[in-house]
Amino acid sequence: MLRLKGKSLYLRKLKLEDAPAIFEAVQESREDLDRFFVWSPLVREVKDTEDFIKAHRKSATKRRELVLGIFSAETDDYLGNVSLHPVPASPHSTEVGYWVRSSATRKGIASAAAALVTIAAFDEFRYHRLILRAATDNIASNRVAAKLGMHLGGVQRHELQVIRGYLDLNYYTLLADEFAASRQRLEKLIN
């Protein structure tokens, strides 16, 4: 089983027995999640998280998708998710996504988890380009992109519709040759 480790957290594939902890984290974080994500309003019971885990385990091998839980190295508590999603129009690109439960934000968890999967995207999966899209008003996610050394390529206007309306998304990229220059920065985020 794939497992990536940092100093204060580790990432691993989700198991069905993680469903109650995931659901609890979504419930705790609902107000924050619903501002930026399409999927969170659809999570209404533990079965919804079980269905999510089953669907992503099945599709992971077919589409080179990677969905990992973020767990505390000290307590094994579930902290959120981080993922790499394929980009259908660009087979040499992947998109990183993440969320961290509200009670665990502002501790560098999203940055560390994103750094771990960024290293995996280039070293293990040999992608040429990593993409990160963040709502223009999502200060925390835009900060993660900056910490990863990503480059802002532009804004996708009204790209995503969530409960509160249409969101403009900042579109960041990191290329394989830029990754080599960013490796030290990424390793500092992990340790």
Query: With 0-12 CB in 10 A as exposed, 13-18 as middle and 19+ as buried, what is 140?
Result: middle
pLDDT value of position 97: 96
pLDDT value of position 162: 96
Extract the runs of DSSP E, i.e. beta strands, from the chain: 3-5, 9-13, 66-72, 78-86, 93-100, 129-135, 151-162, 165-175
Lowest model confidence (mean pLDDT) among 1-5, 32-36, 84-88, 136-140: 1-5
Q: What is the mean pLDDT of the chain?
A: 93
Structure confidence by residue, pLDDT tens digits, 95-124: 999 999 999 999 999 999 999 999 999 999
What class, spelled out in words, does domain 3-190 have in CATH?
alpha beta
Structure confidence by residue, pLDDT tens digits, 120-155: 999 999 999 999 999 999 999 999 999 999 999 999
pLDDT value of position 60: 63
Domain boundaries, the chain: 3-190
Structure confidence by residue, pLDDT tens digits, 153-177: 999 999 999 999 999 999 999 999 9
The CA distance from 146 to 53, in Å, is 30
pLDDT value of position 66: 87
Where does the pLDDT of residue 1 fall: very low under 50, low under 70, confident under 90, or very high at 90 and above? Answer: very low
Annotate 150-187 with b (16+ C-beta within 10 A) or e (fewer): beeeeeeeeeeebeeeebebbbbbbeeeebeebeeebe
